[in-house]
Chain A
Amino acid sequence: MNVFHLSKNLPRAWHAMALVVLALVLVACGGGEENWPGVTTTSDNDRLYISYKEQIVSLDAEKERLWTYDGDDKFFAPVVIRDGRLYVGDYEGRIHAIDQESGDRIWLYEPERDSFMGFEFGAVDRVLGSVALNDERLFFGDEHGVSALYIADLEDGATPELDWSFETGHSVWAQPLYLDQESEICPDLDIAPTLFVASLDQKVYALDPEEGTERWSTDMGGGLPGGLTLDCERSRLYVGTLNGEVIALDLDGEIVDRYETESWVWGKPVLFNDSMLYFADLEGWLYEVELVDEGFGEVNKRRLSEESLRASPLIVEDAAGDPVLVIGDKEGEVYALDLNEPNWISDRDVKVRWRKNIDNKALTDLVWLDGEEGQLVIIGGEEEDRLVVALRLEDGGDRAWSYKYGD
């Protein structure tokens, strides 16, 4: 068929419409902005907060919805809980403070943008990572670096103001780590108040939390999308890189040791018993590294999956008090390993307590809830029908419930 035959009878409006359709197809072909939800539990492990798209949802361990907060723009970061309030950033660079019990907004910080005749424009700094807090300030990473809001002595209805901003060479997706001598995490640590920031520009920064000035920065040789793990006993930080390494550095920014992995390490390494470090990479390898004064000691590594293990492992005690490591891969397989038993049984195999598929990519960091019938491992992905899934730790990983977005 000749194109002229086709075009002869088509009015110009059809040409226009065809091009509009083409534009939509091109936009669709470009891939969406889909992401996985942020999940957080309370310190008592009795409530779950899911941040996804424009909503923050509070659920109890039985999936009963307690409240929903509508934020007008997309959320990706897991919320942070402090003194009965939730804090979270969104894709518009805003920071929300929400009442933990009611889900009501307490305040909303909106960054200033350029405007012309009432029309706002200019760069929007998305907040993709969790915030960090001390008594006076809230710290958050964005597209340009890290910023602080002054939140002390806020009167009712008042909105905090930007205190300072510090530019890094790339976005900050990881949660900053705030440390001082009164820190609950490391009470015996002798350190001046410091904010540690891991950036995608491959550097770890130590900043003065009051002024936002740099104390030191150290190049890690690879992007740092995950957070920093603090080792109080050795006064060290551990971080995984996109260059396929896990690096130990002291609190003065000196690299103590580095361990080369098979692929990118995205998730934050997890410390266990102050003596072992667990982390995974994007080629499905799981690592168990002994921590010694010199840095890294003996290493066990096994290929747990053929798929990416993006998230940090979760280490949780079961009903008998035995530690279990749980981790999920990009194809939705969730693995539970007994840490008290020798898991590294051969060069090829890892002894697995149970293994379940959640019919969704397992991408979120794992958390756990204390359910009526035992502990629940919570994990989520991109499929909105099963956005977040709860698996029973004790019953071979059976699914307790799944949360559908909008339910």
Chain B
Amino acid sequence: MGIIIDVLSTILLVLYGVLGQNVFLAIVAFTVIIRLAILPLTLKQQRSMKKMQELAPKLRQLQQKYKDDRERLAQEQMKMYRENGVNPFAGCLPLLIQLPILFGLWRAIIATLASSPEQLLELQDRLLISGLDHLVPMNNTFLWLNLALPDPYFVLPVFVVITTYIQQKMLMPLPEKKDQRKSNEPPDPAEQAQQMTRSMTTIMPLVLGFVALSYSSGLAIYFITSNVIGIIQYSAMGKADIRRLFGQESAKTKEERAKAKSATTTEDAATGDDDEEIPQTERREAGMVAATEAAVAGPSRQLKPGISITTLKPNPPSNERRSSGTSGASASKKPAKKSSSSGSRPRKSKKSKSRSRR
């Protein structure tokens, strides 16, 4: 960790020298460079998370199926990951690699601003190249701020809270109405994750605001810059939706949600209490298809556990289903109106899929 702080402190001081000894510009440039440097890791992490999100419904079905056999559940989960080419830790690894860098960056800003004699003394050991001594200590005055100290007027901590909230809110999907899930269903993993994300949306800005209040204003500038870059980055990638800030859905999301709801309603009405008669394999596979479509249609969309079995029709049969023909027959014997009403749904789903791809 020490070497990371040393390297980053040196870079920050070089930037300070290059940018006319303006510490504000140095921190902004420093944040941009670090964010660009870890962009490949961020993208990898996002791809991995997306894959995991796509697999969440499958995972849930496995959990339902093997709820009494943990060992088997673990085996099946691993098998599923293998078949889909997903490494469950692939999302964590980039994060783990980023963490020391982000912590180092944090510490480097504090170290370089050297608000106390002890910090200035430590800085001497951190500089890895010579010729920077004349830049020490950095001129930490910017507008009304002494960047080595917390903002006395609390302006920056407020901006930290606001930008963190905006970033989180723009990325977070809107919560689904509770009545869309049957009361006797176990909690959806995706929903659980969303719930956690919602907690984060509220608490994380406050946490960072608290940190910004406690530490140098330079750190607050880093947080704000980083948040703004994050918002721009996600917007450029089409992952941010400004309507979410106001608790509204985009037309696309509304349409998808309406489709999902009508599908669920139809299916609920159709399946009723006969749910148990539907073979587990078909239900699982149906869930997979719908989950994949939903995920591709929009990563923010809530994945629904209840899915019509007719969505199986346009999809190539899996080995498992081929081996259980009677079950398939039993499924097709479900009320005809369900079949007719939902017969067009796969096409609609495909439309939705292609739209989102475009």
Contacts and interface: CB of A to CB of B under 8 A. Distances in A.
A121 B153 contact: yes
Contact of A143 (B134, B146, B207): B146
Contacts of A27: 210-211, 214-215
A40 to B, nearest CB: 17
Interface residues of B, number: 48
A382 B59 CA distance: 54
A34 B118 contact: yes
Given A20-B207, A27-B215, A222-B134, A35 B118 contact: yes
A12 B204 CA distance: 13
Interface stretch (B34-42, B119-127, B296-304): B119-127
B203 A19 contact: yes
B317 interface: no
B153 A16 contact: no
B116 A244 contact: no
Contact of A3 (B117, B193, B214): B193
Contact of B117 (A29, A128, A221, A330): A128
B199 A242 contact: no
Interface string A327-340: 00010000000000
B77 interface: yes
Interface stretch (B135-143, B267-275, B327-335): B135-143
Interface stretch (B6-14, B103-111, B350-358): B103-111
Contact of A243 (B134, B195, B199): B134
Contact of A29 (B77, B106, B195): B106
A363 B110 CA distance: 21
Contact of B203 (A16, A122, A242, A363): A16
A398 to B, nearest CB: 28
A23 interface: yes
A194 interface: no
A345 interface: no
B133 A31 contact: no
Given A170-B140, A173-B117, A200-B137, A12 B211 contact: no
Contacts of B196: 7, 15
B112 to A, nearest CB: 12
B106 A382 contact: no
Given A223-B136, A225-B120, A264-B124, A16 B199 contact: yes
B152 A122 contact: yes
A7 B110 contact: no
A15 B125 CA distance: 39
A36 interface: yes
Interface in B155-211: 187, 189, 192-193, 195-196, 199-200, 203-204, 207-208, 210-211
Nearest to B209: A23
B225 to A, nearest CB: 17
Interface in A247-298: 263-264, 266, 282
Nearest to A170: B139
Contact of A19 (B116, B134, B149, B207): B207
Interface in A1-49: 2-4, 7-8, 12, 15-16, 19-20, 22-23, 26-27, 29-31, 33-36
A124 interface: yes
B154 interface: yes
A117 interface: no
B204 A19 contact: yes
Main secondary structure of the interface of A (DSSP, over half): loop
Contacts of A122: 152-153
Interface in A203-227: 221-223, 225
B137 A223 contact: yes
A3 to B, nearest CB: 7
Interface in A62-108: 76
Contacts of A310: 121
Interface string B315-333: 0000000000000000000
A20 B189 CA distance: 24
Contact of B152 (A7, A19, A121): A121
Contacts of B140: 170
Interface of B: 56, 59, 77, 88, 103, 106-107, 110-111, 115-121, 124-125, 133-134, 136-137, 139-141, 144, 146, 149, 152-154, 187, 189, 192-193, 195-196, 199-200, 203-204, 207-208, 210-211, 214-215, 219
15 contacts: A4-B189, A7-B192, A12-B195, A15-B199, A15-B203, A30-B107, A34-B118, A36-B117, A76-B117, A121-B152, A121-B153, A128-B116, A202-B134, A243-B133, A308-B124
Interface of A: 2-4, 7-8, 12, 15-16, 19-20, 22-23, 26-27, 29-31, 33-36, 76, 121-124, 128, 143, 169-170, 173, 200-202, 221-223, 225, 242-244, 263-264, 266, 282, 308, 310, 330, 363, 382
